[in-house]
Structure 1
Amino acid sequence: MNFDLSDELKALQQRTRDFIREQVLPLENDPRQDSHGPHPALRDELVARARAAGLLTPHASVELGGLGLSHTAKAVVFEEAGYSWLGPTALNIHAPDEGNIHLMEAVASPAQKARWLVPQVQGRTRSCFAMTEPAPGAGADPGMLQTTAVRDGAGYRINGRKWFITGADGADYAIVMARMEDGTATMFLADMDQPGIVLERNMDAMDRCFTGGHGVLRFDNLYVPEADILGEPGKGFRYAQVRLAPARLTHCMRWLGQARRAHDIAVDYARRRQAFGRPLAEHEGVGFMLADNDMDLQTARLHIWHTAWLLDQGQRCNFESSRAKVVCSEAEWRVVDRCVQILGGQGVTGETAVMRIFTDMRAFRIYDGPSEVHRWSMARKIVQGEAAAAR
């Protein structure tokens, strides 16, 4: 594995960094956002700026208007975009749209791409991914799926309830996971403005960086024609893995940018702030925290780059993406937590960006699979692998 970045990628990295600093950071205090994320008007302005800068939807294929970035290139660009909590929204690489775009490119039919994917790549529409359900439905265990799809003539009737659906409020279409009559799972595409889809409410959440927040959806006899099945019937769980392995990793990339931002703020503060006759940075307790931050940031980056490199070699990386997700979510969280400690009173107030990053990031250890579930899944694969080697 070669850690050198090409001149072209270095230039793209710098261009993204400059764009975030000059075009996005000044909008972080814009009033057009609330506890449920940026308002549509702010999102439209951010997207327009990224479009003008030639940075919009860079992970999409060149044929669709993106930059066709490899997974390794995404690791570099997405980290830079993540330096601001508005950066992923601007570049149209935020969750869940980034993962949905990847899935749609891989699985959708030409007609489905023309109808839903093309305008999404252009930044004109948003989507949501409706799989998670209230108890006793699917959560960390997707096999507990309760939402049903029953054949009705030339289509299906979908009934069920979903929650923690990121971006549901204001989304133009949804990818809906439902259980078929034979027990298999299928993904369906549905416009969100249909009467069979009800947004019951938006949930209060610690994070507020996702456009549309997190919603509770109800499906009441939603009719979906057979032509709007995404991929093949019965392969919903298989397609979920197509989406989730890279999406876990892009979460790690974006949040690495936020952790680096918090660290930069803490380093600057520790250099300037005096206590007991010297700068904070010269006190061993603070200096050790900064050193630990550097180690965690580098550890996270290496896991991201390695897994991205494996994905670029065509490997599935279910195990490696789980490992990276646990390592990165916990390492990046430790970085931000230390930054709060270093900043003291400024770390627990809105005087700097660190408090906001802290509250936004805590959920990262839960969504796209809690750390405990990934550890459990990894342990099963490790034991199975050892048993196979012994045989």
Structure 2
Amino acid sequence: MSHIPADVEELRQRTRTFIRDVVIPAEPHPGDYLDEGVLTDLKAKAKEAGVFAPHVPAEWGGQGVPIEFWSPVFQEAGYSPIGPAVLNCMAPDEGNMHMLAQIATQEQKERFLAPLAAGDVRSSFAMTEPHPGTGSDPSALATRAVKDGDEWVITGDKRFISGAELCSFFVVMAATDAEESAAATEGSGSAQAKMGQAATMFLVPKDTPGVSVGRPIHTVDRTIAGGHPYVHFDDVRVPTSAILGEPGKGFAYAQVRLAPARLTHCMRWLGLARRALDTALDRAEHREAFGDVLARQGLAQELIAQSVIDIETSDAMITKTSEVLATDAKEANSRSSIAKVYCSEAVYRVIDRAIQLTGGDGVSDQLPLVQYLNDVRPFRIYDGATETHKFAISRRASSKRRKEVAAGAPRLDIVREAR
């Protein structure tokens, strides 16, 4: 990005200072969750410092940073594994806030977005289901919502619903009959609509009768409070006003949320990768072996250089994608998929190299690097596994080239006979 507005740069600097001076000293021991009382106190301090909710529109209490400039601030927040939670820009709440701001009615914004943006409540995005329900393949959506008079009845099981144990409400993705939402799905071209199935998003308070949080799923990461449990919806009745956006447009709305959410994960984890590299650089500068410090030895320099390259490449990729987020949803979705694949792998490599450079301390709880590695490892699966994104990336590339050739571009694989 060639130019960051002065006010965003000033916010980035204040965020940088706040994370280093206030948040890092309050970090829990590696492997532990952040105490809720400590988090509440840190959120209050973030509000006092004017760095809270950088992505939220000013009318809802945030800093109002345009989406194309989120990355510099989110990276500073991510320099601490608890920084995004303190600044209220952590998943799944951050993605839900963005989607509510884009799609929700004024009444829904006041009821759900306002307290979420203020950090008074948490939320969850309930889409993933037990096999054979939807996971990487959204067309397998099994949870159903059936219209019954002025109400909708939701039935189905979800799993791996991040933050569900502590949330106040869910954004629930449910399959709905395409005929009931024909006007909304007409012309969408989605496979679900063609099969007689559309999808609709519903805002469902956690205390709604029929909603229950099931058994937890224990994972290696510790950055998302509220776990990743099963959630059950047993004949859950909600009014028509609970529909988020229009009936039948759930899959389209999911892209409104998921494309930026993939990228903000990249931003936050890239900040943590920078922290890991700084840790390794400090160790390399002061750890002596074989007559010299590590920083002046070739094998260590190779690890450091590769990490710098991974970080800078990831940063450039995020910046390029951020520039189209607000203007071209289709292009942003494609680019965020590419960025997600690259950054999730690159961040892991950077942290892994940092562990190698710090030796025995790196694999112990004397340094937080192993926990960083545990925190970022699931990112290669969350928000779409690397392999699923590569499948989509390949199909898009092939489709684009077929269209170019069909439009008159010469085929380049034709072998010319020798004369």
- For Structure 1 versus Structure 2, the TM-score category normalised by the shorter chain is over 0.9
Deviations 1:306-359 (A, max 9, x none): 110122444541111101111111111110111111111111111112111111
Mapped to 2, the partners of 1:112 and 1:315 lie a distance apart of: 23
Query: What RMSD in Å do the two structures reach over aligned CA positions?
Result: 1.4
Matched, 1:87 2:78: no
Matched, 1:137 2:133: yes
Mapped to 1, the partners of 2:20 and 2:390 lie a distance apart of: 37
Which 10-residue stretch deviates more, 371-380 or 76-85? 371-380
Mapped to 2, the partners of 1:230 and 1:9 lie a distance apart of: 31
| Partner of residue 75 from structure 1, selected from 54, 71, 76 | 71
Task: Name which one, 1 or 2, has greater alpha-carbon Rg.
Answer: 2
Partner of 2:25: 26
Partner of 2:181: none
Task: Verify the 8 A CA contact 2:145 2:154 in the aligned structure 1.
Answer: yes
- Report how far residue 38 of structure 1 moved: 3.0
Task: Verify the 8 A CA contact 1:39 1:211 in the aligned structure 2.
Answer: no
Task: Verify the 8 A CA contact 1:126 1:173 in the aligned structure 2.
Answer: yes
User: What amino acid is the match of 1:342?
Assistant: L
Mapped to 2, the partners of 1:240 and 1:184 lie a distance apart of: 13
The aligned runs of 1:56-205 (5 Å cut-off) are: 56-182=52-178, 183-205=197-219
Matched, 1:342 2:338: no
Report the CA distance shift for 1:313/1:157 in structure 2 as closer, same or farther (over 3 A): closer
Identity %: 45
Which 10-residue stretch deviates more, 236-245 or 196-205? 196-205
Partner of 1:331: 346
Please state whether the residue corresponding to 2:256 is helix, strand or coil: helix
Report the CA distance shift for 1:387/1:253 in structure 2 as closer, same or farther (over 3 A): same
User: What amino acid is the match of 1:130?
Assistant: A
Structure 2 residues without counterparts, runs of 5 or longer: 179-196, 407-419
Partner of 2:398: 383
User: What amino acid is the match of 1:274?
Assistant: E
Deviations 1:61-109 (A, max 9, x none): 1121212111232100000000001100011000000000000011111
Which 10-residue stretch deviates more, 237-246 or 347-356? 347-356
- Report how far residue 180 of structure 1 moved: 1.2
Matched, 1:238 2:234: no
Report the CA distance shift for 1:258/1:28 in structure 2 as closer, same or farther (over 3 A): same
Please state whether the residue corresponding to 1:210 is helix, strand or coil: coil
Deviations 1:196-253 (A, max 9, x none): 1111122110101112121211111111111101011111000000111111100000
Deviations 1:277-305 (A, max 9, x none): 11112221111000000000000000001
User: What amino acid is the match of 2:228?
Assistant: H
| Partner of residue 270 from structure 2, selected from 248, 253, 256 | 256
Mapped to 1, the partners of 2:174 and 2:400 lie a distance apart of: 32
User: What amino acid is the match of 2:386?
Assistant: S
Structure 1 residues without counterparts, runs of 5 or longer: none
TM-score (norm 2): 0.90
User: What amino acid is the match of 2:217?
Assistant: M
Mapped to 1, the partners of 2:322 and 2:161 lie a distance apart of: 26
Partner of 2:47: 51
Task: Verify the 8 A CA contact 1:337 1:358 in the aligned structure 2.
Answer: yes
Mapped to 2, the partners of 1:111 and 1:312 lie a distance apart of: 24
The aligned runs of 1:9-20 (5 Å cut-off) are: 9-20=8-19
Partner of 1:284: 298
Please state whether the residue corresponding to 1:214 is helix, strand or coil: coil
Task: Verify the 8 A CA contact 2:123 2:170 in the aligned structure 1.
Answer: yes
Please state whether the residue corresponding to 1:221 is helix, strand or coil: strand
Deviations 1:110-134 (A, max 9, x none): 1111111111111111100000011
Please state whether the residue corresponding to 2:111 is helix, strand or coil: helix
- Report how far residue 29 of structure 1 moved: 2.3
TM-score (norm 1): 0.96
Task: Verify the 8 A CA contact 2:8 2:65 in the aligned structure 1.
Answer: no
Mapped to 2, the partners of 1:109 and 1:49 lie a distance apart of: 31
Task: Verify the 8 A CA contact 2:27 2:34 in the aligned structure 1.
Answer: no
Task: Verify the 8 A CA contact 2:256 2:329 in the aligned structure 1.
Answer: no
Mapped to 2, the partners of 1:307 and 1:176 lie a distance apart of: 27
Deviations 1:23-45 (A, max 9, x none): 111111279x94xx434323322
| Partner of residue 42 from structure 1, selected from 13, 38, 49 | 38
Partner of 1:373: 388
Mapped to 1, the partners of 2:363 and 2:119 lie a distance apart of: 35
User: What amino acid is the match of 2:22?
Assistant: Q
- Report how far residue 175 of structure 1 moved: 0.1
Mapped to 1, the partners of 2:121 and 2:206 lie a distance apart of: 11
